[in-house]
Structure formats: structure tokens, C-alpha cells
Amino acid sequence: MPARAYLDHAASSPIRPEVAEQVAQDLSEGLGGWANPSSQHASGRRMAGLLAQARARIARALGVDAHEVVLTSGGTEASALMIAGRARAVPGGRLVVSPIEHPAVLDSARAAVEQLGAGLSLLEVDGAGRVGLDSLTASLSASSGAGPAGDPGGAGSRARPTGADTGPPRRGRVSLVSVMAANNETGVVQDMAAVVGRVRRATGVERPGQPGYVPVHCDAVAALGKTVVDFRGWGLDAMSLSGHKLGAPVGVGALVVRREVDLRPVTGGGGQERGVRSGTQDVIGARALALAVELAVGEREAEAVRLGALRDRLLREATALEGVHATLPADAAHLPSTAHLWFEGAQAEALLMALDLAGIDASAGSACHAGVHGPSHVLLAMGLGQDAARSTLRVSLGPGSTERDVERLVTALPGAVDAARRMRAAAGPGHSPAPQRREM
């Protein structure tokens, strides 16, 4: 049986050979990974030294200071820690986030409303998922009135209407702005420098530590290694990243956060990571993350050219099929590694099943809501209708992706789409209508 075509790197990317070799050596050649780096004996001190080296390597690759790197179990914990930590640091404060964020941000913000009394403002996005800067200014305005109470989208809903508010009145202090650098489903890239610049102008406060300063957090999990990520140049205060999207093992990530940002712990414990994230540090995991970050950042430009050409071919041939559309408009900045499509008259589950039988691994969107087959909150926020939002395909490329993988997909796609449409027709009349997009 021929090898499968793995086209789901946005969900998780295979461990890089160099990283796998390093982990194997660390485990087998007496690194002493069993010793606790907080211990005062010689073995513990050695592990503490290796941990410091790994932290410094991560910081150097990202252009930040080593003391700003807080190690976590992954991107989800990093983002959740930032949201919950700020809600605890600023009681009654208001979180301002985009409606297309990862559940680690959106669900954590909703929990902060329900459990900590925080406020929540959701920004507006256009038909490509780009944040409206004017809505950001409005959300930061101290003169804005109170928003309606309740949970945007309804209890348990994954969809979030744009421009919605919940929790305490909007005149409460804004505790955090959180906008992702690149969307994990569609691949749209935000202008993060413009986002931060608008926050600074709207608040009139430029420097951390000054009264009224509003920190800006960025979920960079999908962006790092795929497009430019510039913590210092963008003026960010915090940034999340995840190892398994870069070729490190699952279970390691980091929150990069400035010292000046007041962040409160969400759990008790030994306070190993700057007092905000407790637990015995995984030195072997930290070393794996450091190497994966170095490799991903180092090869980014060359891989962007290679993967961008594969993505362009995939979109060109897929959209030549009747009733197949690119989700993002041509002028939207996007990741070179992600192609997102929607299909008239074909639901995602049937399409994925047909591709799976053809030996192709792809997805309908985020893999972070296991077992959830409802329409994507990202696509609904962008203005796609319910049917279109249930009829999508995300193809994401990575270091191991080849021309042969793309050829296999475009060859199998016509038959898969036809089979999915027959299944949809057999289930009853219906047709996925063209999406009605909002314009900014």
C-alpha cells in the first residue's frame, strides 16, 4: 500500500528527524532527564543549566529575552494562562478579542466572564477574517456604553457574533487585547503591527508600566515558522507558541510575556516558571522545543516559497472544479502552507471520508474540538452561511509535503466531491448557498 498523503500539518506536524534524534540521545545517553531541575544536588543543577540553555535558545530564535519565555505544555495552555492570568490580575477588567480566535482564547475568555466577573468585547472581522481596526478603537473607548449581558453565541455555542459584549460594562478597564497572527483554520494573516499601533493610539499610552497601558497578546501558534513573527517589531506584550506545530513532540510550548505585564497564576504549586506556571519542568521537552523553533525559523523563507507554490497549484486546480471555491479572497494575506476551500452541495464529513479512503489526510478545520462537527465559529464570524461553513476542507502543508502529495489530492478530489454530493443529495434536497460576506 502506498504511503498516505499527510496534508494536516496545521493540526500537528510530524516530529523532525533532528529533534527525534536529539530526544532519543537525551533519553538514552545519560542526560539525566529524571532529575528535577529545582533540586540543589549536582544532577539537579546540571538539569537546571540545560533548561537555562534551552530557554536562551528559544529566546534567541524569537528575538526576545530569556526571562520572557515561560515554558508550558503547549499553545493551548499558553493562551489560556494569558487570558485567565490577566483576568485575575485586573478584577472586573474587560478582555478584547477577535471572534476567530482559537478556543484556547475564546473559551478561556468566556470562562473569565462566567467565573471571574470579567467583561468581554468581540471585535469585528471582514469576509476574510481580518480584524477591523475601527472596531478595535471602539472597543477601547472609555466612553462606550454597556453591552448586553450573557454569553455571545449562546451557552455552549462555538459561534460568536462580532462586535458583541458581555460581562461588566464596557467602561471597565481593558485588561488585554488578544488577536492571533494567523488563523489556524483559514490561514489568513493579520497585520499585527497595525493592531498594536491602533491599541497604542486609541489608549494614548505607549510604555508598559504606565497607567492605562493595555497589553496585547498574540496567538502565534499557526504563524511561527510559516510567516514573519516579530515580537519586538510588532510591539507585542505576550505571544503563544506550540511545539508540535513546529516538529517537536506534543506536550511542550511557551508563553512569551514581558516582565512588566502583571500575570497571576491560575493554579497553585511550586511557581517554577516565573511564579505563574507551576510544575516540574520538562528539560528534554524544552530542548526539543528549542531545536524545533530554531529549525522552523531558520528555514521559513525557503519553505514559504516552496510551500506557496504547492498551495497555489492546489487552489488553482481545485477551484477549476464546478462549485469549489477558495474561502479567502485573492488579496488576503495568507499562510503559504494553508489552502482553505468550501464546496457547494457537499458536507465536510462525507468529503473527508472519501479522501480518507483515497489515502489522504486532511481536515475540515481545527482539530481542537474533538468530535464536534458543527459549523466553524471562524467561518460564521467571516459571514459564511451555515451550509457553507459545514462544507469546507483545510489542506495544510509542512516540511514533508511534496508535489506528489498535491498531485494525489487534486487527482482524488473530483471523485471525492462527486461522492460527497451524492451523499448530500440522498440525504435530502439542499444546496450550499454562496456566502454573504461582510465588507469593512
How far is 118 from 92, CA to CA, in rounded Å?
Answer: 5
Alpha-carbon radius of gyration of the chain: 22
SS3 237: coil
Half-sphere exposure of 26 (CA within 13 A, CB side): 20
Euclidean distance between CA atoms 6 and 175, whole angstroms: 40
Q: State which amino acid sits at residue 181.
A: A
Residue 61 is placed in which grid cell?
530564535
Which grid cell sits at 411?
487527482
Nearest to 317 by CA among 426, 403, 242, 253: 403
**338-343 and 392-396: which strand pairing?**
antiparallel
E runs forming strands in 283-421? 324-326, 338-343, 360-361, 392-396
User: In Å, how far are 46, 75, 254, 327, 423 from 341, measured between CA atoms?
Assistant: 50, 25, 31, 5, 19
Contact 166, 149 (CB under 8 A): yes
Q: How far apart are CA 173 and CA 189, in angstroms?
A: 28
Q: Say whether 218 is catalytic.
A: no
Q: Which string of DSSP letters, residue by residue, matches 86-140?
A: HHHHSTT-EEEE-TT--HHHHHHHHHHHHHH--EEEE--B-TT-PBPHHHHHHHH
Catalytic residue among 20, 66, 368, 423: 368
Catalytic residues: 368
